Each structure stands twice: as C-alpha cells, then as structure tokens.
Amino acid sequence: MEPQVSKTLGDVCVLGFGQTALSVCTYLMAQGPSRVHSVTLFGGAQTHEGEKCAEFEALGVHVVTGTDEVCGTYSLCIASPGVPDTSALFLSAAAHSQEIIGEPEFAFRESPEKWIAITGTNGKTTTTTLVTKILQTAGQKAISVGNIGRTITDELSSRTPDEWFVAELSSFQLATIARLHPKTAALLNITPDHLEWHGTLAAYAAAKERIFENFDIHDLAVVSDLDEYCRACAQRLEARHIRVCHLNTEDPKTEHAAFIRDGVLVVRRSGKETELIRAADLKIHGLHNALNALAASALALEAGVDPVSVRHALLDFEALEHRIEPVREVSGVLYVNDSKATNTDAVEKSLTAFPTRGVVLLLGGHDKGTDLGSLAAAVNRSCKTAICYGAAGPRIAEALEVEKTKQHSDLHVVSAPHMKEAFEAATKRAMAGDVVLLSPACSSFDEFSNMAERGRTFKHYVSELAAQEGVF
C-alpha cells in the first residue's frame, strides 16, 4: 500500500537503537530523497559505535551515539517506545524538532485506515491475537502489530487497502500519540506497572487512556468496569458523548456492554444482545480470559464481523505461548508456562484458572519494587506451595510469610537461588492432580534476556523431566 499521507517529511530525527528504530529508519530511507531529505539517528548516552551502528549507517542513516544531546534542526522526530518522554534525550530532541511522535503515531499517519487498538496492563496480547483470529475467521485480512512483537512500520509497504491492523499498544507507545484514531479500541484494565518509567500510577493510567484521545460520537470504546481508573475513564468518555461498551463479569445494565450471564458470553450493542458461547467452552482458562474474549468479540462486532464467525473463532482459539500455556502433564502433574505474567496483577488473574487443583507456584526474577500485599494475599488463599527464586525471591518470600501469619494459612514458602532449582523443588513437592505454575510476577532480566527465553527454558525443564519419567 502506498502511503496515504504523501507529504514531504523533510529532515527526520529518530531516537533509539533497537528494532523499532531500525524499522523506522529502513522505511524512511526507502521513501527517497524527494520525501525524506535526511535521517539522523540518536541512540542515547549508553550507545556506542559497533555492529549495530554499522547496520544503520548501511541504510544511509547518520548515526550519533554516546550522548543525550541532540544537535541540528528537524521537521519530525520519531521516538522509540523505550525512550521515556521525560528523558534527557527525548527533551533535547523535542527542543530541536518541529514535532516529536512515536512509531505507532507515525505508522498511523502513513496508513490510517482500518485500525483496531488494544491496551491495558494485562490481557493485551491475548485480546489482540483473538481479534485478529476473529477477523480472519470472517474471511477478512488482518494482522497483529505493535507491542505484540511486530513493528507496525515494517508492515506498511506490504499492506493492502482491505487489511486490518490490530494494534497492541503499550503505555510507552501511547504517551506520544497525537492523531492516532482507530475505528474502535479497548482499555482492558489498569493496575500498577512500569511506574519506574511513568513516575506515578496516575501518569501511567493517563497514558493508557490516550488510546481514546481522538474518539468522537461515532466511535465505540470498550472499557472495563472492574477497576477505578477504567471506571473514571468510561465516565470521561461518556461525558464526551462517546459510546462506551462496559466490560464486566455481570450485566452492567448499560446500552452497550460485554458481560457474562448464566455462564454465557454476551455482547450488547445499542440495546441489542448477541449471545456467543459458554465461557466454559473457551480453550483459554480463567475469568480474565473470558473477559479478554468478550472484549475481542465486542471489537470485532463493531468492525462488522458476523456473530457466527465470532463464535467459531472463540471456540477454536488456543492458549498463547507463555500465557497460561499448558506444557504437558507428567506423572499426573500439569506444568503450565505463564512466563508473560511479569506483574503481580497478572499472577493474581492466572491463579483463578485452577480452582480445582493444588497450585505449586514459581515466583521471582528481576525485582520491579512493586507492592506485594495483594499478591501475597492471593497466593496464600490459592496455593499450597510458593517457591521464590532469583533477585526478587527473598522479598517475595518475606511478604508471603507475613501474610501467612495474618491468614493462618497452610502455604509452604520455599526459597531457591535460580529458576532451575525452583523447578526442581516444585517437582518434589507437586502431587498427582496438582499444577506447577510458572507465573513469576517479575521481569526476567536477572537471569534471562526476556520473558520468552524464561518460558522456553521452563518448557525445556518439563521436557527433560518427562524424558526422565519415561513420558513421551
């Protein structure tokens, strides 16, 4: 698809040194000198010359490393999501540019038709993938892009006019939007996360809410009723006369709603109800996943998908890798990879997926410094054993023990230095009928390069255990 916004971009500045910056620079350099006069990349103070620098320079990009000071004058600056809008690099670039935006905003300006957007602290990836699945089941072209791992700009040159962009957008990406205006969008939840980047929970929530910034009376916003920040957002949207589909575990009695009634997923639009499937028939487990399915269904119905296609897609949809992903059963114990649960709220939601099993929980990793009170209460209520490992292990173990005393629970709290030892401890304590759940509540960076490496390592441990037990 040729860019729908064909005006000259002039001299462009790009911030960052990772995949997003590379994708943006590749796209810009392909536009030709009549549209893009020059591209200058500022990597930041921690970057230096080397292979990565050479990769950018091979495109024809002028690269500046080792400094947060931007020099020159630019028509446009495009910032990677890893560059906070409060950082010295961002502020310096803003002072030297006519406008500074993020990569999703840039991609939208280049190709603004057929966008659906999803944000929230948890459930974004599942909901985004499911919306894409529903659209495809209905015979429409659709691709999942954004924070889900596929840089939007990479898909611009091959995009066709009839293809949907289903964009998972993080708070980082939303912080720098200006004109981005999807056809419909969802805010799934707001719980504490990334406070080291945003500073406060209120600032984090405000960044998330920007997904609706350009909505008008013709648009539908799908918003959870289940936390105070989302409820406040819905009130503000309705004050702007924007239609809000209230996402809830029970009927909110609103004109537009997505909820569960007598175990059935129901979406109501302008007072007219569409019954979908029983929540128990979903292959993705837990109440939170029923809510994700409802959000995805509401978005797809708003995009014009027929209910039959929605039902078929919901029934077919499998668990995503690293998100409550059943690995296999060994000696009657189910091993589940939930490595994507990098914050406490995600773990609390995951624990609801196993109401009839004893849970042996693996918690730990890089310590974000998050408050552990709510997590400790949930773990003491729901688990038989918690094995705490890694850099955050001691602090988590201490919080669990304090809560154990308050609740007088029977939780066994075990400490281990690394995930390998934690896994071995779990296998010794789990009995037939139990679930061993890797749901760490932490990022992975103390031991692994990312959460996917952590999850695949866990699955490798399970495979080794199965071989030892003679399970093939």
Show binding-site residues: 120-126
CB 137 within 8 A of CB 62: no
Residue 462 · residue 382 · CB < 8 Å: no
What does the alpha-carbon distance between residue 374 and residue 235 come to, in Å, rounded to a whole number? 26
Read off the tokens for 249.
Answer: 């575990």
Contact 135, 142 (CB under 8 A): yes
Alpha carbons within 13 A on the beta-carbon side of 322: 19
Q: Which residues are annotated as a binding site for ATP?
A: 120-126
